[in-house]
Structure 1
Amino acid sequence: MTTPRTVAILAGGLNHERDVSIHSGRRVAGALQEAGYHAKVLDVDSNLLQRLDAIEPDVVWPLIHGSTGEDGSLQDLLELIGLPYVGTNAHGSRLGFQKPVAGTMLSRAGIAVPRSTSLPQSLFREVGATAILDLVALRYGFPVVIKPAAGGSALGVSIVKEAKDLPGAMVDSFAYCDRVLIEQYIAGSEVAVSVLETEQGKPFALPPVEIVTNGLYDYDARYNAGRSEYFVPARLSDDLLAMCMDVAVTAHRELHFRHISRSDLIVDSHGVPWFIDANSAPGMTQTSLLPQAVARYAEEKDMAPSDLYSQIVEAALTF
């Protein structure tokens, strides 16, 4: 680049993942500055449009996690403004953000997806919570996973082992979304596979990251250093690593993701990778999974991690 490009990184916002977003924004800003860009972190607030107008960015990198940032809203706004941006467009964001929708689409594409039931909070009030929870216990048995039908960072997610704990898990989940996803529990190794697309139509998977933690890989385990241990690449056979990477690339394509994504999988004892979740705006903090995969890939290719982030920015200016 002869004249450094200006990148506006959108972080913060008002949802439950604000702190994660701010840390992600600062980390990406540092990487882009290292690569020679002018990177400015902007909070998503009532002054956002004026600040964007003032700095006239060449490209925007939205790093708002959860609602607004991943449900297509922010992408629609950037389309209205006419600014190129990193990441999935509004259509793909909506597909990935709604877990029941994403699961259905990928199941139809031949990917193993846990069986699930999605119910709105209003139905519990109309039909009666006790009757519905009895059906859940009969249908799924225990353990069973209870999670918000939309959202990230494992907020509101519970693994329920006894019927007496179902009501509390439902309340926790409904605190983050008005629809709950009741999901078959899959035991196995937790693996995250990030995908980059620096050339249109040519997404490629980064080395899978294996997560080992004591208990649920929840919000605290994700963002407090020392709670979890990571292995990059995951401690799987070459064939299984390739299978996981193929699932993530398929998810990226089927959900119409762009530039960057991450799929969370569980590999069971039979060697089957199960799709659990898709992320169109993955976390970029110190303990986040995509930066760890980027670091390993860059090491293998004898390049700086900042070079990959640079490629992502440049891709946003072309497609």
Structure 2
Amino acid sequence: MSRKIAVLFGGNSPEREISLKSGKAILNALVKLGINAIGIDPINFPLLYLKKYGFKKIFISLHGKGGEDGTVQGILDYLNIPYTGSGLLSSAITMNKFITKTLWREYGLPVVYPYFLLNKKKFIKSNYLKIEKKILKFKLPIFIKPNCNGSSLGISKVNHLDNLFDAIKKAFIYSEDILIEKYIKGEEYTVGILDKKILPPIKIEYSSSFYNYQAKYYLNTTKYFCPSGLNKNKEKELEKIVLNAWNVVKCNTWGRIDIILDENKNFQLLEINTIPGMTSQSLYPIAAKKAGLSFYDLVIKILNLTK
């Protein structure tokens, strides 16, 4: 019998629904390739039993909290079972948008600026007018995002001060800390990284006011362009920025970086995703296909890159 592989999906993060879809697509591909793979939802299975049940490798398809933040990576390191994707430290860093942006900025990489972090407890105790004053220095519109969450859940674009308080409350549902940053108008791109190389960039066009959860997963008005339409020089510049951003936070195997080309034609890094979606609508498999990798090729390559 071949080595037993566990595909972890589901979990209890707000991104559970997407994780289930991604994980099932990965599991189906592995099974069709004749691999002895079993799907496991950590809600129903204690992860400390993975070794006891003879699993030799783990394909992590958990999105968000508990999956991308170093928690499951720490458990698997403790059990000494190899797994896909970035390790504990990189996962913990990149799940935290504020820390990631601060590190990138420290290394001279372009990030959307200004931004600041707001803590739930401090917000309750502090003077709301002080925060309002700080935000007005940015000039509206601004973005308010949960600091440790993915899939654009809890994100708001605030155009008017009247909507500020509600946007802050909404973001705090998903995270104890929220990131408040300047809104940058421009063209959005997402770039997949696979085995230290970048996949063809994808340009994203959407009809919503920003690339939100609905635009990502449900609206058929969202358009993806691969090839991205960037000229050779701009694509080279993008590749350099993305690989530097990837290496600074010491990520490995596979992941995705979102970036915006502002109105002055300068790239600004947005965020990083260490376990990209692998659903039928996900961008990572689209980019891999453009690079000549079928979904089956992609899944097996990620699995074989496991340390």
Aligned partner (choices 35, 40, 44) of residue 42 of structure 1 = 40
Give 1:51 deviation, angstroms.
6.2
Give 1:248 deviation, angstroms.
1.9
What code does the residue aligned with 1:282 have? Answer: P
Give 1:192 deviation, angstroms.
0.4
Q: Provide the residue aligned with 2:81 in structure 1.
A: 83
Q: Provide the residue aligned with 1:265 in structure 2.
A: 259
Distance in 2 separating the partners of 1:259 and 1:71: 16
Cα gap change, 1:76/1:120 in structure 2, threshold over 3 Å: closer, same or farther? same
Give 1:29 deviation, angstroms.
1.6
Distance in 2 separating the partners of 1:179 and 1:99: 10
- Could you list the structure 1 runs, at least 4 aligned residues long, displaced by more than 6 angstroms after superposition: none
Counterpart contact for 1:225–1:287, Cα < 8 Å: no
Number of aligned residue pairs:
305
Counterpart contact for 2:285–2:298, Cα < 8 Å: no
Counterpart contact for 2:193–2:256, Cα < 8 Å: yes
The reply on whether 1:279 has 2:273 as its aligned counterpart is yes
Bigger mean CA deviation after superposition, 165-174 or 5-14: 5-14
State the Cα deviation string for residues 36-66 of structure 1 (Å, max 9, x = none): 3222211012523376346522210111111
Counterpart contact for 2:3–2:56, Cα < 8 Å: yes
Cα gap change, 1:37/1:182 in structure 2, threshold over 3 Å: closer, same or farther? same
Distance in 1 separating the partners of 2:13 and 2:295: 29
Distance in 2 separating the partners of 1:117 and 1:240: 29
Counterpart contact for 2:187–2:261, Cα < 8 Å: yes
Distance in 2 separating the partners of 1:63 and 1:29: 10
Q: Provide the residue aligned with 2:288 in structure 1.
A: 294
Cα gap change, 1:4/1:304 in structure 2, threshold over 3 Å: closer, same or farther? farther
1:73-112 matches, within 5 Å, as 73-112=71-110
What code does the residue aligned with 1:274 have? Answer: Q
What code does the residue aligned with 1:297 have? Answer: A
What code does the residue aligned with 1:229 have? Answer: K
Cα gap change, 1:227/1:4 in structure 2, threshold over 3 Å: closer, same or farther? farther
Distance in 2 separating the partners of 1:250 and 1:34: 36
Aligned partner (choices 169, 172, 175) of residue 170 of structure 2 = 172
Bigger mean CA deviation after superposition, 285-294 or 26-35: 26-35
What code does the residue aligned with 1:311 have? Answer: K
The reply on whether 1:312 has 2:302 as its aligned counterpart is yes
Counterpart contact for 1:220–1:227, Cα < 8 Å: no
Aligned-residue identity in percent: 29
Cα gap change, 1:28/1:146 in structure 2, threshold over 3 Å: closer, same or farther? same
Q: If the length of structure 1 is used for normalisation, what is the TM-score?
A: 0.91
Secondary structure of 2:255's counterpart equals strand
Secondary structure of 2:19's counterpart equals helix
Q: Provide the residue aligned with 1:207 in structure 2.
A: 200
Q: Provide the residue aligned with 1:243 in structure 2.
A: 237
Q: Provide the residue aligned with 1:252 in structure 2.
A: 246
The reply on whether 1:13 has 2:40 as its aligned counterpart is no
Q: Provide the residue aligned with 1:200 in structure 2.
A: none
Aligned partner (choices 68, 71, 90) of residue 69 of structure 2 = 71
Q: Provide the residue aligned with 1:24 in structure 2.
A: 22
Q: Provide the residue aligned with 1:124 in structure 2.
A: 123
Secondary structure of 1:61's counterpart equals strand
State the Cα deviation string for residues 138-170 of structure 1 (Å, max 9, x = none): x11111111111110001111111111111110
Secondary structure of 1:175's counterpart equals helix
What code does the residue aligned with 2:202 have? Answer: V
Distance in 1 separating the partners of 2:207 and 2:87: 36
Give 1:176 deviation, angstroms.
0.5
Distance in 1 separating the partners of 2:166 and 2:142: 13
Give 1:227 deviation, angstroms.
3.7
Cα gap change, 1:174/1:50 in structure 2, threshold over 3 Å: closer, same or farther? closer
Aligned partner (choices 201, 219, 223) of residue 213 of structure 2 = 219
Counterpart contact for 2:51–2:81, Cα < 8 Å: no
What code does the residue aligned with 2:273 have? Answer: N
